[in-house]
Amino acid sequence: MGLLKKCSAEAVGTFWLVFGGCGSAVLAAGFPEVGIGLLGVSLAFGLTVLTMAFAIGHISGCHLNPAVTLGLVVAKRFPAAELGPYWLSQLAGGIAAAAVLFVIASGQADWSAAESGFAANGFGEHSPGGFTLVAALTAEFVLTAMFLLVILGATDVRAPKGFAPIAIGLGLTLIHLISIPVTNTSVNPARSTGPALFVGGWAIMQLWLFWVAPLAGAAAGGLLHLGFFAQEAEEGEDAVNAGKVVLPNTEA
């Protein structure tokens, strides 16, 4: 599979993740009074990954997240040369989704991205539960590391075939159930960047955390998997290629 096709799939998939997940938060979480709430938004994020994993997993691996791509590189499950193009594609998809969501949400009278928060991630006074910077940093780091362990384990050649999208989608749902009150849940710099650009101000100023913590957590998860859980190479087999599976056909 050519790099252009893989990057196009990543852009479309990340668009779906941000539009579906953040869209559920912005448009449906509190509508009309109760709406789908925290449980619904958590499930929406998980469903975006689950559906896209089946749709584009065989094309790009369905990373949809710069942190995931970095973690897979660290775990030697994805070529480092494709890291930059994947990141650019994921950012483009996330920003495009936020732009479309902004057009839809602004169709409501007296609505503004800055006042509504537009599903942006934050800490301190911009945390849904008022959690501190340290709490937000810890949550984002740990949850992203655990997400990488789920992804790497579910897509290992020794894992049951065909179930990885379900495990990964439910894993992301669980992550949101835990951390929406803390940061609105990022674990994904592309997801954070799109809404932040439209909120501006505080969201841009706090965006650094939602790059640093997920990337560091993903690298830690990749190293942990590589050091303790990766398949050992058979005699005469290149250790780099042992268990080198992300989602179907990422290296084609």
Give the domains, in start order, of the chain with CATH numbers: 3-227 (1.20.1080.10)
Give the SS3 label for residue 83.
helix
CA 66 to chain centre: 8
Angle at 134 (CA atoms; ends 172, 88), nearest 5 degrees: 50
What is the DSSP secondary structure assignment for residue 76, as one 8-state letter? T
**pLDDT tens across 59-109, in order?**
999 999 999 999 999 999 999 999 999 999 999 999 999 999 999 999 999
C-alpha distance from residue 130 to each of 134, 196, 241, 245, 252 (Å): 12, 18, 45, 40, 46
Averaged pLDDT for residues 182-202: 98
Residues 202 and 85: their CA atoms lie apart, in Å, by 28
Is the pLDDT confidence value at 192 over 70? yes
Name which of 126, 115, 111, 106 is nearest 207 in CA terms: 126
pLDDT confidence tier of residue 11, bands split at 50, 70 and 90: very high
Taken in order 149, 154, 156, 160, the sign of the CA dihedral is: positive
Find the distance separating the first CA and the last CA of the chain, reported in whole Å. Answer: 5
CA 228 to chain centre: 24
**H or E element in which residue 223 lies:** helix 209-224
- pLDDT of 247 reads 52
Query: What average pLDDT does the chain have?
Result: 92
Report residue 50 as tokens.
């689950």
Is the pLDDT confidence value at 241 over 60? no
Q: Are residues 149 and 224 in contact, defined by beta-carbon separation less than 8 angstroms?
A: yes
pTM of the entire predicted model: 0.91
Is the pLDDT confidence value at 238 over 80? no
- pLDDT of 242 reads 38
Residues 224 and 144: their CA atoms lie apart, in Å, by 12
**pLDDT tens across 122-165, in order?**
999 999 999 999 999 999 999 999 999 999 999 999 999 999 99
Q: What percentage of the chain has pLDDT greater than the value 90?
A: 87
Averaged pLDDT for residues 167-188: 98
Residues 98 and 105: their CA atoms lie apart, in Å, by 10
Residues 216 and 210: their CA atoms lie apart, in Å, by 10
- pLDDT of 246 reads 45
Averaged pLDDT for residues 51-62: 97
